[in-house]
């Protein structure tokens, strides 16, 4: 792998303007910050319009399952469905109006097809919010969905219990289905390890009838937040990032009191938000680094770090190319004059130093120009989602990562899997594998919660070991 930087492609992708072009002077911004051209990192846009972000992951489920099943569907047309149904049933002409009314009542709301089971979720219309489609595709990419999940979910029609009408509608809809032929450029997967856990949880849920909209939403909520939070940490570590290592972020239980010396405050959202604020700067930095004409190749920080570690003679060459990228970039940022004051960062290699300095240039011009609003609009897509789903305002302490009773019940179900019971300490470790950490105070309260639900079993060979029983 040789690192490539193509100046002509950079100028094209970043809408580069020469001095004097359209009146552009030395104090003007002579490029446009365009992520996602060559390096797709996050599914966000800088537009502040509410149509460009997703608060509720339930909106994503249908489009996500379209991708898993490999189909395209912009909803089911009532007339077309009725025509297909009538061709497959023997019905008296006089009873057709009543039959149509029943079908419409059961499967349509406000003229839109309404799915009642996972087999049909994918046949609801595409969301009118493009950000929903972007997020669905992002999750499909970074969670590693492949042929196994496609086969698994399409086989559910054999097992899913349906009444006669549901079966008729399912058969008719499947006849009208269309395979997807999308060749859209995929998002780059920064962290690894969570994909296998997600797929095991997904498979368990599909095989154990945890397939209603609430459950699928809960699973995507969990892994979406897990992926973004861990990715933010890895990116801030640049070439030293570890794709496999999970950083511990602590949650509080919804009903407990929280103080400023608790881990859920010190090692929770407070630290994570600082890294979330860098998302747009990382997206632009990685886009800048990836200005070449090989569509199959995307370099992230870790890849470049590994490359120069294995090919030390290439370190200076790669660093020089990145410095050249920076020089062309800052030349176009005429409305920020303090690039020369950005200190030389620490790095184990010349390449890492060059990457970090380029990132600092991107970050500083965002923070100190009118583009600070665009920067904020980008990362606030995730922050606003987190506030509505994973955060609770603890007054003086501000926002703290939060688990509700519903979260705990869901987490416990998927953590137990096929087991009838699990040791309490092992249950906490299963939470950890999904990015959820609790301090000792929260663990004690959670044990009391399980006791109240009569889910603690103290009978065991070890005498004092406590088990959590299956939640029905």
pLDDT per position as a tens digit, 349-379: 999 999 999 999 999 999 999 999 999 999 9
Question: What does the pLDDT look like over 281-294, one tens digit per residue?
Answer: 999 999 999 999 88
Quick one: tokens of 283? Answer: 């997206």
| More confident call, 75 vs 212 | 212
User: Which residues does residue 209 pair with via DSSP β-bridges, in sequence order?
Assistant: none
| More confident call, 20 vs 394 | 394
- Residues near 313 by Cβ (< 8 Å), separated by ≥ 6? none
Inform me whether the pLDDT recorded for 405 exceeds 80.
Answer: yes
Question: What does the pLDDT look like over 119-153, one tens digit per residue?
Answer: 788 888 888 888 999 999 999 999 999 999 988 88
Per the rule left: phi > 0, alpha: psi between -120 and 50, beta: everything else, 369 is: beta
pLDDT value at position 217?
97
Question: What does the pLDDT look like over 307-356, one tens digit per residue?
Answer: 999 999 999 999 999 999 999 999 999 999 999 999 999 999 999 999 99
pLDDT value at position 460?
53
Burial of 310 (0-12, 13-18, 19+ CB in 10 A): exposed
Q: What is the 3-state secondary structure (H, E, C) of the chain?
A: CCCCCCHHHHHHHCCCCCCCHHHCCCCCECCCCCCCCCCCCCCCCCCCCHHHCCCCHHHHHHHHHHHHHCEECCCCCHHHHHHHHHHCCCCCHHHHHHHHHHHHHHHEECCEECCCCHHHHCCCCCCCCHHHHHHHHHHHHHCCCCHHHHHHHHCHHHHCCCCHHHHHHHHHHHHCCEECCCCCCCCCCCCCCHHHHHHHHHHHHHHCCCCCHHHHHHHHHHHHHHHHHHHHHHHHCHHHCCCCCCCCCECEECCCCCCCCCHHHHCCHHHHHHHHCCHHHHHHHHHHHCCCCCCCCCCCHHHHHHHHHHCHHHHHHHHHHHHHHHHHHHHCECCCCCHHHCCCCCCCCHHHHHHHHHHHHHHHHHHCCCCHHHHHHHHHHHHHHHHHHCEEECHHHCEEEEECHHHHHHHHHHHHCCCCEEEHHHHHHHHHCCCCECCHHHHHHHHHHHHHCCCEECCCCCCCCCEEECCC
pLDDT value at position 461?
52
Report yes or no: 161 and 80 within 8 Å, Cβ to Cβ.
Answer: no
For helices 194-207 and 147-154, give the axis angle rounded to 10 degrees: 10
pLDDT value at position 50?
57
Q: Distance between CA atoms of 415 and 76, rounded to whole angstroms?
A: 36
pLDDT value at position 44?
95
Query: Hey, how many other C-beta atoms are within 10 angstroms of the C-beta on 115?
Result: 19
Question: What does the pLDDT look like over 151-207, one tens digit per residue?
Answer: 888 787 666 556 677 777 777 776 666 677 678 899 999 999 999 999 999 999 999
Q: Distance between CA atoms of 452 and 191, rounded to whole angstroms?
A: 38
Q: Distance between CA atoms of 421 and 419, rounded to whole angstroms?
A: 5
Inform me whether the pLDDT recorded for 13 exceeds 90.
Answer: yes
Q: What is the 3-state secondary structure (H, E, C) of 180-206?
A: CCCCCCCCCCCCCCHHHHHHHHHHHHH
Q: Distance between CA atoms of 260 and 189, rounded to whole angstroms?
A: 35
Domain boundary assignment for the chain? 50-236, 404-469
pLDDT value at position 129?
86
The size of the chain, in residues, is 472
pLDDT value at position 452?
94
Q: Distance between CA atoms of 142 and 171, rounded to whole angstroms?
A: 32
- Just give the CATH number of 404-469: 1.10.10
User: Which residues does residue 72 pair with via DSSP β-bridges, in sequence order?
Assistant: 178
pLDDT value at position 103?
83
pLDDT value at position 160?
59
| More confident call, 270 vs 177 | 270
Integer angstrom CA distances of residue 445 from 251, 297, 329? 13, 49, 53
Q: What percent of the chain has pLDDT over 70?
A: 94
Question: What does the pLDDT look like over 429-471, one tens digit per residue?
Answer: 999 999 999 999 999 999 999 999 999 987 655 546 799 998 8
What is the overall mean pLDDT for the chain? Answer: 90
Quick one: tokens of 69? Answer: 């099943």
pLDDT value at position 25?
83
Integer angstrom CA distances of residue 143 from 99, 108, 263? 42, 32, 28
Matching residue, tokens 């072009």: 21
Q: Distance between CA atoms of 468 and 427, rounded to whole angstroms?
A: 8
Inform me whether the pLDDT recorded for 263 exceeds 80.
Answer: yes
């Amino acid at each position: 792998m040789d690192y490539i930087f193509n100046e002509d492609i950079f100028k094209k992708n970043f809408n580069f303007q020469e001095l004097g072009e359209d009146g552009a002077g030395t104090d003007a911004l002579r490029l446009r910050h365009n992520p996602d051209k060559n390096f797709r990192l996050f599914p966000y846009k800088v537009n502040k319009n509410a149509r460009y972000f997703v608060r509720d992951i339930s909106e994503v489920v249908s489009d996500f399952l379209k991708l898993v099943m490999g189909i395209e569907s912009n909803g089911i047309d009532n007339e077309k469905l009725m025509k297909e149904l009538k061709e497959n049933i023997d019905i008296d002409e006089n009873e057709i109006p009543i039959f149509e009314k029943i079908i419409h009542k059961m499967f349509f709301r406000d003229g839109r097809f309404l799915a009642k089971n996972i087999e049909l979720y994918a046949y609801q219309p595409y969301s009118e919010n493009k950000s929903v489609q972007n997020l669905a595709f992002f999750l499909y990419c970074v969670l590693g969905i492949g042929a196994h999940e496609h086969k698994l979910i399409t086989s559910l029609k054999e097992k899913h219990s349906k009444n006669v009408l549901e079966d008729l509608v399912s058969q008719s809809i499947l006849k009208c289905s269309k395979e997807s032929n999308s060749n859209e450029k995929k998002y780059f997967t920064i962290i690894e390890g969570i994909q296998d856990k997600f797929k095991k949880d997904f498979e368990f849920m599909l095989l154990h009838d945890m397939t209603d909209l609430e459950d699928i939403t809960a699973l995507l909520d969990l892994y979406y937040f897990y992926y973004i939070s861990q990715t933010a940490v890895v990116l801030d570590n640049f070439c030293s990032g570890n794709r496999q290592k999970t950083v511990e972020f602590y949650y509080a239980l919804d009903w407990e009191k929280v103080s400023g010396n608790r881990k859920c405050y010190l090692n929770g959202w407070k630290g994570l938000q600082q890294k979330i604020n860098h998302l747009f700067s990382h997206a632009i930095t990685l886009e800048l680094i990836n200005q070449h004409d090989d569509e199959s190749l995307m370099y992230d920080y870790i890849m470049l770090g590994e490359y120069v570690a294995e090919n030390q003679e290439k370190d200076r060459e790669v660093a020089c190319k990145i410095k050249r990228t920076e020089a062309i970039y800052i030349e176009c940022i005429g409305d920020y004059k303090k690039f020369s004051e950005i200190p030389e960062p620490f790095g184990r290699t010349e390449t890492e130093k060059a990457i970090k300095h380029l990132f600092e240039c991107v970050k500083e011009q965002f923070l100190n120009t009118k583009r600070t609003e665009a920067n904020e609009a980008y990362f606030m897509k995730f922050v606003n989602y987190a506030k509505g789903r994973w955060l609770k305002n603890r007054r003086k302490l501000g926002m703290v990562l939060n688990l509700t009773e519903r979260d705990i019940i869901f987490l416990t179900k998927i953590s137990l899997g096929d087991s009838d019971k699990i040791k309490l300490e092992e249950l906490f470790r299963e939470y950890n594998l999904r990015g959820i950490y609790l301090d000792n105070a929260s663990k004690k309260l959670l044990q009391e919660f399980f006791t109240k639900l009569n889910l603690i079993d103290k009978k065991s060979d070890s005498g004092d070991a406590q088990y959590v029983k299956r939640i029905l």
